[in-house]
Amino acid sequence: MADRINLLASALPGEATAKIRYAQGGAACRLTLEGGTLRVLFDAPQEAVTPGQSVVLYAGTSVLGGGIIKEVVQ
């Protein structure tokens, strides 16, 4: 779950790729906006996801937006 969301796209697709570290490759995920909170559900487990980190969303090489990780749900 992420808050302080900044969207650059007019609408989010249901699926995208996301990065939680600059040097990390993008990981496939599903997205849901719930009020002011973004739920990012990764298709495969991710290592060391930590509240306070940024999550950045991509469609190919285009940045869709991102937010600050508020809660890690496993």
Q: Is 29 exposed, middle or buried (0-12, 13-18, 19+ CB in 10 A)?
A: buried
Q: Binning pLDDT at 50, 70 and 90, where does residue 36 land?
A: confident
Q: Tokens 């991102």 label which residue?
A: 66
Residue 59, strand partner residues: 62
Q: 2-69, superfamily in CATH?
A: Translation factors (2.40.30.10)
Tens digits of residue pLDDT in 41-71:
999 999 889 999 999 999 999 999 999 999 9
Task: Characterise 14 by phi-psi region: left (phi > 0), alpha (psi -120 to 50), beta (else).
Answer: alpha
Q: Binning pLDDT at 50, 70 and 90, where does residue 24 land?
A: confident
Domain ranges of the chain: 2-69
pTM of the model: 0.90
Tens digits of residue pLDDT in 25-34:
899 999 999 8
